[in-house]
Structure 1
Amino acid sequence: MYIVTGGAGFIGSAMVWKLNQMGIDDILVVDNLAKSEKWKNLVNLRYEDYLHRDQFLKLILEGDDPFETEGVIHMGACSSTTELDADFLMENNYRYSQYVCRFCIENNARFINASSAATYGDGQHGFDDDHEGISRLQPLNMYGYSKQLFDMWALKAGLLNQIASLKFFNVFGPNEYHKDDMRSVICKAYRQIGETGQLKLFKSYREEYEHGGQRRDFVYVKDCVDIMAWLLEHREAGGVFNVGTGTAKTWNDLANAVFAAMEREPNVEYIEMPEQIRDKYQYFTEAKMQKLRDAGCDVEMTPLEEAAKDYVRNYLAQDDPYLKS
Structure 2
Amino acid sequence: MIVVTGGAGFIGSNIIATLNTMGYSDILVVDNLKHGIKYLNLVDLNITDFLDKWDFFNRIVYKNIFRKIDVVFHEGACSVTNEWNGRYMMKNNYQFSKNLLHFCVKYRIPFIYASSAAIYGNGSKYFIEEPQHERPLNIYGYSKYLFDQYVRVILPKVRSQICGLRYFNVYGPRESHKSTMASIIYHIYKQMISNQDIQLFIGSENFQRDFIHVSDIVSINLFCWRNNISGIFNCGTGIAESFQNVAEIILKNFNRSIDTIRFIPFSKNMSRKHYQTFTKANLNKLKETGYNKPFKTIKEGIPLYTTWLNQNKDILFD
User: Contact 1:214–1:250 at 8 Å: present in 2 too?
Assistant: yes
Task: Confirm or deny that 1:268 pairs with 2:261.
Answer: yes
1:236-271 Cα distance to aligned partner (Å, 9 max, x none): x21110011111111122112211232323231111
User: Contact 1:69–1:109 at 8 Å: present in 2 too?
Assistant: yes
Task: Confirm or deny that 1:134 pairs with 2:126.
Answer: no
Task: Confirm or deny that 1:213 pairs with 2:206.
Answer: yes
Task: Return structure 1 stretches of 4+ with deviation > 4 angstroms.
Answer: none
Task: Confirm or deny that 1:291 pairs with 2:288.
Answer: no
Which structure 1 residue ranges, 5 or more long, are not aligned? 205-210
Higher RCO (C-alpha under 8 Å, 6+ residues apart): 1
2:141 equivalent in structure 1: 144
- Once residues 61 and 135 of structure 1 are traced to their aligned partners in structure 2, the CA distance between those partners, rounded to angstroms, is 34
CA RMSD of aligned residues (A): 1.8
Residue aligned with 1:58, SS:
helix
Identity between Structure 1 and Structure 2 (%): 38
2:239 equivalent in structure 1: 247
Q: What TM-score, normalized to structure 1?
A: 0.91
1:257 equivalent in structure 2: 249
1:117 equivalent in structure 2: 117
Distance 1:149 1:135, change over 3 A: farther
1:20-68 Cα distance to aligned partner (Å, 9 max, x none): 1211111000001024310110001111100001111111223363131
1:192-211 Cα distance to aligned partner (Å, 9 max, x none): 1122353111112xxxxxx4
- Once residues 200 and 233 of structure 2 are traced to their aligned partners in structure 1, the CA distance between those partners, rounded to angstroms, is 30
1:53 equivalent in structure 2: 53
User: Contact 1:36–1:178 at 8 Å: present in 2 too?
Assistant: no
- Once residues 35 and 115 of structure 1 are traced to their aligned partners in structure 2, the CA distance between those partners, rounded to angstroms, is 22
- Once residues 213 and 314 of structure 2 are traced to their aligned partners in structure 1, the CA distance between those partners, rounded to angstroms, is 15
User: Contact 2:164–2:232 at 8 Å: present in 1 too?
Assistant: yes
| 1:228 counterpart (218, 221, 233) | 221
* 1:135 Cα deviation from its structure 2 partner: 6.0
- Kindly provide the amino acid, as one letter, of the partner of residue 175 in structure 2: E
1:270-325 Cα distance to aligned partner (Å, 9 max, x none): 11113541222222100011111111112221010110000001x11113689xxx
Pairing of 1:198-209 with structure 2 (within 5 A): 198-204=197-203
Q: Which of 142-151 and 261-270 deviates more?
A: 261-270
Distance 1:285 1:136, change over 3 A: closer
Residue aligned with 2:111, SS:
strand
Distance 1:55 1:202, change over 3 A: same
* 1:110 Cα deviation from its structure 2 partner: 0.9
